Amino acid sequence: MQYDDTYYMQQALKEAQQAYDAGEVPVGAIVVMNNRIIARGHNQVEMLNDSTAHAEIIALTSAYNYLGSKYLPEATLYVTVEPCLMCCGALYWGKIGKIVYGADDEKNGYKHITQENWPFHPKTELVKGILAGECAELMRAFFRERR
């Protein structure tokens, strides 16, 4: 069975929900290759006391370990929120085949810094807005509770 971007974003959302339940900013990511999830990650900045422990970094590192490769040209990373500059750079170095993200992040997303410059590998494909409403709502709910 061929799953679509919406299905995989739902899986990334499950990761984001785990972050939410743990009191972490609710961002989730998965890495898919050949129609199979090979890695998962959710934000663990608070738990690890490590501001580099974003969902994407954890999912990427897990995928590299799993494959024994530092590049992922055949893989797709799904992430619930627009990547930040750090994760964007990590995806560049990983030569990821495709990035699919859900909600835009006006404050911390890469676009507010990189603007018109393409920060990813030239061959990386980018899709945005998949389940954007659900992905954004989880973030809003998190920050609403903390105000």
Distances in Å between the alpha carbon of 24 and those of 18, 48, 62, 138, 143? 8, 11, 19, 11, 10
Binding mask 18-57 for a copy of itself (x = CB under 8 A): ---------------------------xx-xxxxx----x
**70 touches a copy of itself (CB under 8 A):** yes
Residue 56 is a catalytic residue? yes
Please select the residue that binds a copy of itself; options are 87, 99, 103, 135, rule is CB under 8 A.
Answer: 87
Q: Is the dihedral of CA 116, 93, 5, 78 positive or negative?
A: negative
Q: What share of the chain is helix, strand, coil (3-state, %, to 5)?
A: 40, 20, 40
Enumerate binding residues for a copy of itself (CB under 8 A): 45-46, 48-52, 57, 60-61, 64-65, 68-71, 84-90, 92-95, 113-115, 117, 119
| Residues tagged active-site | 56
